[in-house]
Amino acid sequence: MHGGSSPLTASAPHEQLHVQPCATEEGIHVSTPLKHGDFTSLAEDYSKYREGYAPSVVSALIGLLGGSAEACDAVDVGAGTGIWSRMLAEAGFRSVTAVDPNDTMRATGKRDSAHHGITWRAGSGEDTGLATASADLVTMASSFHWVDFHKGTKEFSRVLRPGGWFVALWNPRYIQASPLLTDIEAELDRLKPDMKRVSSARQGLMDELSDRLAASEHFDDVILLEGRHEVQQTIDQYIGVWRSVNDVRVQLGEEKFEQFLDYARRRIGDAETVQTTYLTRAWAARRVSA
């Protein structure tokens, strides 16, 4: 029988959770058109400018695993340049394996994670290449929207040990906290009214994710975690984050995308920094035990 979704804040996990302990420079200006979902040309921007995730969510996930990361093996699929993978390593997991299909993103991740003890390998959400029942935690950070839902969840269930957790998470900007950022994002609608965002954690897949995971034969509990954190970004950092967003660049095209960045710079004006609130949203689904 599948459990329902239980919204809660990451800073205060619900006491009724069934805990399963674990087994013993300026951005690159691309001269050629980007392809949907291809991050090869964006790896450096991704590495330099993408922000991390709320630390409170990491703590909450460790709580789901019984409170001890040191006894758990974690896998980060669609790891990109390893932003989330490094957070897992720094949290003290026994092992962290980062999986990504893109050679350039993976090479950049290896470079950025050289001192974190992370194992890197080629693979996708549908085919990780990992051993069966080899992980206590499988995550996809800002990447699950690129994966076939049914093939991906079947693969993650295979890789997880009984009672382990799959977590899909995103960290969109919480623009409601800033009239400036709200206005800048509204310019996207003006430039392309029919734009369909696939990576904002606020649309499409995310609206139904709790129900879809709960209905899956592979999981028997689904929990939604949320945590916020604020960062002060230089103008180059703020613009650099936009340069790393594949779906916006592909849909606008490079000419309109540069127009959008020019608008953002004008709206920011003489300010030296931009205060940005990020909202980490994590859907955690527990693998069935039998």
Question: pLDDT tens digit string along 16-57?
Answer: 344 455 655 333 333 444 444 445 556 666 677 778 999 999
Mean pLDDT for the stretch of residues 265-289: 95
> Does 20 fall in a domain?
no
> Does 186 fall in a domain?
no
Among 11-20, 36-45, 119-128, name the most confident range: 119-128
State the pLDDT at residue 22.
Answer: 64
Q: State what percent of residues in the chain have pLDDT above 70.
A: 81
Q: Determine contact, residues 209/224, Cβ cutoff 8 Å.
A: no
Cβ partners under 8 Å of residue 22, min gap 6: 65, 66, 68, 71, 72, 73, 136, 161, 164
State the pLDDT at residue 195.
Answer: 85
For the stretch 54-97, pLDDT in tens is: 999 999 999 999 999 999 999 999 999 999 999 999 999 999 99
Q: Determine contact, residues 103/79, Cβ cutoff 8 Å.
A: no
Question: Does residue 163 come out as left (phi exceeding 0), alpha (psi in the -120 to 50 range) or beta?
Answer: left
> Does 270 fall in a domain?
no
> Does 118 fall in a domain?
yes
Task: State how many domains the chain has.
Answer: 1
Q: Which of 10-14, 118-122, 204-208, 272-276 has the least mean pLDDT?
A: 10-14
- Among 64, 56, 89, smallest CA distance to 74 is for 89
Confidence of residue 161 (pLDDT cuts 50, 70, 90): very high
Report how far residue 283's alpha carbon sits from residue 219's, in angstroms, rounded to the nearest whole number.
Answer: 12
> Does 55 fall in a domain?
yes
> Does 182 fall in a domain?
no
State the pLDDT at residue 18.
Answer: 43
State the pLDDT at residue 46.
Answer: 61
> Does 176 fall in a domain?
no
Residue scoring higher pLDDT (194 or 197): 194
Coil, strand or helix at 122: strand
Q: Determine contact, residues 12/23, Cβ cutoff 8 Å.
A: no
State the pLDDT at residue 21.
Answer: 56
Q: Which of 1-5, 19-23, 113-117, 134-138 has the least mean pLDDT?
A: 1-5
Residue scoring higher pLDDT (26 or 200): 200
In angstroms, the Cα distances linking 61 to 19, 43, 112, 206, 235 are 10, 27, 24, 19, 33
Structure token digits, residue 67:
């409170």
Q: Determine contact, residues 286/249, Cβ cutoff 8 Å.
A: no
The amino acid present at 129, given as its one-letter code, is: G
> Does 165 fall in a domain?
yes
Range of the domain at 133: 5-13+35-171+200-229+277-287
Q: Does the structure show a pLDDT above 70 at 220?
A: yes
State the pLDDT at residue 43.
Answer: 64
State the pLDDT at residue 72.
Answer: 98
- Among 170, 164, 171, smallest CA distance to 221 is for 164
Mean pLDDT for the stretch of residues 252-267: 95
Report how far residue 142's alpha carbon sits from residue 50's, in angstroms, rounded to the nearest whole number.
Answer: 11
State the pLDDT at residue 289.
Answer: 87
Question: Does residue 108 come out as left (phi exceeding 0), alpha (psi in the -120 to 50 range) or beta?
Answer: alpha
The enclosing domain of 207 has a CATH number of 3.40.50.150
State the pLDDT at residue 198.
Answer: 63
Report how far residue 109's alpha carbon sits from residue 101's, in angstroms, rounded to the nearest whole number.
Answer: 12
State the pLDDT at residue 199.
Answer: 57
β-strand partners of 82: none
Mean pLDDT for the stretch of residues 216-228: 95
State the pLDDT at residue 272.
Answer: 94
State the pLDDT at residue 1.
Answer: 39
State the pLDDT at residue 214.
Answer: 94
